[in-house]
A and B are shown apart, each in its own frame.
Chain A
Amino acid sequence: MLAYLIRRILATIPVVLMVALFVFSLLYIAPGDPAAIIAGDQASPEDVERIRASLGLDRPFLVRFFEWLWQVMHGDLGTSIFTNLPVSHMIAQRIEPTVSLMTLTLILSLSIAIPMGVIAAWKHGTWIDRVVMMVAVFGYSTPVFVVGYLLAYLFALQLDWLPVQGFTSITEGLIPFLRNLILPAVALGLIYMALLARITRATMLDVLSQDYVRTAKAKGVEQKGILFVHALKNAAVPIITIVGIGFATLIGGAVVTESVFAIPGLGRLTVDAILRRDYPVIQGVVLLFSFTYVVVNLGVDLLYTVFDPRIRY
């Protein structure tokens, strides 16, 4: 078990390095120039050149890459070109809203989608099943920002129940925290919920038609017991897989949601940095995201071993 864990962790290192090299090299060949942006509207071309030099943007690629890697390993993610603040500081400022949003979305999605999928599988072939599937497909087909604007319009502006934008930390109270985050979480989670519900249903259907389940039914074990004890445990593996893979979709959706609801999180930070070509921030954040994704998938793999003793690499 320990050996497996170590091997899995070691396997993630080349992946993260690959991402680092990839991101770094992409930006290096980019034609955009942050120096001119910083110089501002009224600057002359000479001004722009001097700013470029002062930011060290004219040194060779490998030098910059290894220098950066060395710094990263010491916890220094560099300094933002635009704000002059350390990237790690900027990330630390914005990580709480994004983590809060994603956690709430995850909790919401799992608690709604899995029961939905289970019920749909249980009532397979009936109208309940069809309705659940239709709702799921609709959820999967609508862009996040359309849902976001609709929810904001309805619940914030028309009904005045919830605020239009912003973020309140949970340390300032659970109710204000929820009030700010519930609409974004629903908007973000819709696609995730749709995906989860479908997979849950499909997996449950598959499991329910298995021999051992029919045996248990024949033996007279109560139906609900079958579902929730045996079937769900066996369905856990694919569901967990989707939770892991869907995490990347969640991050992508978070970018849009943060933009619509003005949540000061990492998603919007990254998009702004990319469009402004703030290289250090882009590098730091993308590295963080991929590292997180890798860790999440590691966790998923470990959860496999909990749910299915047969899986042991």
Chain B
Amino acid sequence: MRRRDFLRTTAGAAGILAAPRISRAADSKVLRFVPQANLANLDPIWTTQYVVRNASALMWDTLYGVNDQLVPQPQMVEAHETSADGKTWTFRLRTGLKFHDNAPVLSKDVVASINRWMVRDSSMGVGIKRNLDALEAVDDRTFRFRFKAPYPKLLFALGKSSTPVLFIMPERIAATDPFKQISEYIGSGPMTFKKDEWVPGSAATFERFAGYEPREEKASWLAGGKRINFDRIEWKILPDAATASGALQNNEVDWLETPLPDLIPLLKKSPGISVDISDDLGNIGVFRMNHLYPPFNDERARRAVQIALNQADYMRAVVGDDEALWKLLPGFFTPGTALYTEQGGDYLKGPRKYDEAKKLLAEAGYKNEPIILLVATDVSITKAQGDVTADLLQKIGMNVQYTALDWGTVGQRRASKEPPDKGGWNIFHTWSAGADCINPAPYTGLDASGPTAWFGWPKSDKVQAKIAEWFAATDLATEKTVIGDLNQAAMDDVVYIPTGFFKGYQAWRKNVTGIVKAPFPVFWDVSKT
């Protein structure tokens, strides 16, 4: 600190010219935040990227919002009523809701936003749309859902945090085709987006909207009163992890969303920096196989990988040496949540069975064909998993073809249903936020409907039946039983292989207070001294 002050005094006259920049950087009304990835576009319905959702949460408000127990709480809605047969839901909006152009938020805006969202939300929105008789605006403040069959999980759909989130936009913007990006960013949330200051790949700025009236309750994740204590929030995109960490140490930024785990000891030692786990719900590593083509269309081949896979290797590679950051996960649901179960997960426990794996592979008829392993090398989590998989497959005698790509290309290639040797694939990696794996509702990865499932296209009638049972379940005890069986079925049929449960850190300057643990950065109630 002393050296910097010395430099400033010597700068003298030039320092006067320098004043605006320096004073802004030290301004307690400006928060400088480094997000997990680049914010390349800003339409949270059109894309399912987490970083877009996180920015959108500043700009738009939601009808309901999940709190830190993942229970939906009313946000823009004042009250709701369900009919006796459970098929009609009527909602009334709060008063005083305004868009950033000071137009009031009306039911027609809500209906348009819901319509756009339903098309793109495959986990719940599509199901709601199919089940819907009508969705109408009764008057300016009231709107109504009329279902063909009861849909008890509606509030969770309206308030969930898994992408795409149901953000409420003005009718004219929500009328945009769900497969085209919106170009206007008029929001309903606590902050406006400064489009003229947006430099994609480098910086995005948000400014507080004075016309936003937060709820009375205390804020908790997406629920409660969203009180912003800053005039501006500046997102700085720093893709180089070492540079980001250096910037935090040098007080050039205030808050890092995803510091690299290996740099955490350095940040912990740094006097002005606080470090803590970012989300107790953590993340689940995902190992997806292609069920359409050999060898993984044969359950025995999938089983071979499953019994040889060593979750400890994966987790260490992903999060490093800190044992507190990861856990073995012999199940598909998030540890620490109500529906967590290890039923059926014995395949992933205990000493690994390489010889048995080799035998199973032989039985499945594997004859050394190349296995196309897609690895996104620009994302540290997927690269770490990919490297460990390459090693694992070699251990059980498979012929790995390590295909290094960037995250974007993996996203494209995994959509291909072509044979692996003709532009398709056999294996790819990703990870899911723990918040999205608490139950089957937001859980796209668990769906085993075959050709209409998520990439990998697992098919398991048993799993589908159990999912349907869970949706129909009415109390927690039933849910738990069903989930236990579901877990077992998914393990038996190897829908996909979880590579473990891991948490990440976030880091911030000590003069910033109010930062909480959540699956996404929560900006309300944060302040800076």
Distance in angstroms between the alpha carbons of A152 and B245 in the assembled complex: 12
Known: A43-B48, A83-B200. 16 other contacts (CB 8 A): A34-B408, A36-B408, A37-B411, A37-B412, A41-B48, A41-B163, A82-B41, A82-B200, A83-B40, A156-B246, A160-B3, A173-B14, A173-B19, A173-B21, A275-B408, A276-B408
Within A86-101, the residues touching B (CB, 8 Å) are 90, 93-94
**Is B183 an interface residue, CB under 8 A from the partner?**
yes
Task: Pick out which of these stretches binds chain B: A117-125, A162-170, A292-300.
Answer: A162-170
Instruction: Let me know if A33 is at the binding interface, CB within 8 A.
Output: yes
Chain B neighbourhood of A260, CB < 8 A = 240, 243
CB–CB B199/A264 < 8 A: yes
Q: Which of A38, A82, A166 contacts B252 (CB 8 A)?
A: A166
**25 contacts across the A-B interface (CB closer than 8 A):** A31-B423, A36-B415, A39-B47, A40-B47, A40-B48, A40-B411, A44-B452, A47-B179, A83-B200, A85-B200, A90-B199, A93-B199, A149-B242, A152-B246, A164-B243, A168-B21, A172-B17, A173-B19, A176-B21, A259-B240, A260-B240, A262-B243, A268-B201, A269-B201, A272-B201
A48 to B430, CA, bound (A): 19
The answer to whether B15 and A175 touch across the interface, beta carbons within 8 angstroms, is: yes
Instruction: Flag if B179 contacts A51 (CB, 8 Å).
Output: yes
Asked if B202 and A50 sit within 8 Å, CB to CB, the answer is no
The interface of chain B, by Cβ under 8 A from chain A, is 3-4, 7, 11, 14-15, 17-22, 38, 40-41, 46-49, 120, 122-123, 163, 177, 179-181, 183, 198-203, 236, 238-240, 242-244, 246-247, 249-250, 252, 378, 406, 408-409, 411-413, 415-417, 423, 430, 444, 452, 454
The 6 A-B residue pairs with the shortest CB-CB distance, nearest first, are A36-B412, A264-B202, A164-B246, A173-B18, A37-B408, A40-B48
Q: A80 in the interface, Cβ–Cβ < 8 Å?
A: yes
A39 near B411: Cβ-Cβ < 8 Å: yes
Task: Give Cα A264–Cα B11 distance, bound, in whole angstroms.
Answer: 25
Contact between chains at B48 and A82 (CB < 8 Å): no
Chain B residue with the shortest CB-CB distance to A83: B200
| Residues of chain B within 8 A of A277, CB atoms compared | 408-409
B444 cross-chain contacts in A, Cβ below 8 A: 42
Interface hits, A257-280 → B, CB 8 Å:
259-262, 264, 268-269, 272, 275-277
* Distance, CA A32 to CA B21, complexed state (A): 41
Closest to A167 in B: B202
Supposing A163-B250, A165-B247, A166-B252 touch, asked if A84 and B181 sit within 8 A by C-beta, the answer is yes
Given A94-B202, A166-B247, A173-B17, are A32 and B412 also a contact pair (CB < 8 Å)? Answer: yes
User: Complex: how many Å from CA A42 to CA B244?
Assistant: 28
Q: Which residues of B contact A152 (CB under 8 A)?
A: 243, 246
Q: Once bound together, how far apart are the Cα atoms of A158 and B51, in whole Å? A: 33
A175 close to B17 (CB less than 8 A):
yes
Least CB distance, B469 to chain A, in whole angstroms: 24
Decide yes or no whether A131 CB sits under 8 A from chain B: no
Using CB atoms, name the residue of chain B closest to A53.
Answer: B179
Contact call A38/B47, Cβ cutoff below 8 A: yes
**Which residues of chain A from 160 to 204 have any CB-CB distance to chain B below 8 Å in the complex?**
160-161, 163-166, 168, 172-176
Residues from chain B with Cβ under 8 Å of A47 in the complex = 120, 179
Query: Which single residue of chain B is at the shortest CB-CB distance from A263?
Result: B202
Cβ–Cβ contact B203 & A264, under 8 A: yes
Q: Does A157 contact B (CB under 8 A)?
A: yes
Output the least CB separation between B325 and chain A (Å).
Answer: 23
Q: Residues of A contacting B415 with CB < 8 Å? A: 36, 39, 43-45, 48
Query: Which of B38, B181, B416 has a CB less than 8 Å from the CB of A272?
Result: B38
Residues of A within 8 A of B15 (CB): 173, 175
In the complex, the answer to whether A176 meets B22 with C-beta atoms within 8 Å is yes
Question: Of A32, A40, A168, which is in contact with the most chain B CB atoms at under 10 Å from its CB?
Answer: A40
Q: Is A54 an interface residue (CB 8 A)?
A: yes
Which residue of A33, A80, A269 is within 8 Å of B412 (Cβ)? A33
Determine whether A159 belongs to the interface, using a CB cutoff of 8 Å to chain B: yes
- A165 contacts across to B, CB distance below 8 A: 238, 243, 246-247, 252
Nearest residue in B to A160 (C-beta to C-beta)? B3
Closest A residue, CB atoms, query B202: A264
**Pick from A45, A80, A90, A275: contact of B417, CB under 8 Å:** A45
Interface string of A221-239 (1 = CB under 8 A from B): 0000000000000000000
Q: Which residues of A contact B123 (CB under 8 A)?
A: 42
**Given A152-B246, A260-B240: A54 touches B179 (CB 8 Å cut-off):** yes
Residues from chain A with Cβ under 8 Å of B250 in the complex? 156-157, 160, 163-164
- With A40-B411, A84-B183, A164-B243 in contact, do A175 and B18 touch (Cβ < 8 Å)? yes
* Given A36-B415, A40-B48, A277-B408; A161-B179 close (CB under 8 Å): no
CA distance A175 to B406 in the complex (A): 39
- Option from B4, B14, B163 in Cβ contact (under 8 Å) with A175: B14
Q: How distant is the Cα of A291 from the Cα of B200 in the complex, in angstroms?
A: 24
Chain B nearest Cβ from A188, distance in angstroms:
16
> How far does the alpha carbon of A166 sit from the alpha carbon of B25 in the complex, in Å?
12
Inter-subunit contact A157/B246 (CB<8 Å): yes
Task: Report how far A42 CA is from B46 CA in the complex, Å.
Answer: 11
- The smallest C-beta distance from B186 to any residue of chain A, in angstroms, reads 15
Among A44, A149, A156, the residue within 8 A (CB) of B122 is: A44
CB <8 Å contact, A42 and B412? no
State in angstroms the CA–CA spacing of A14 and B465 once bound together.
65
Name which residue of chain A comes closest to B18, CB basis.
A173
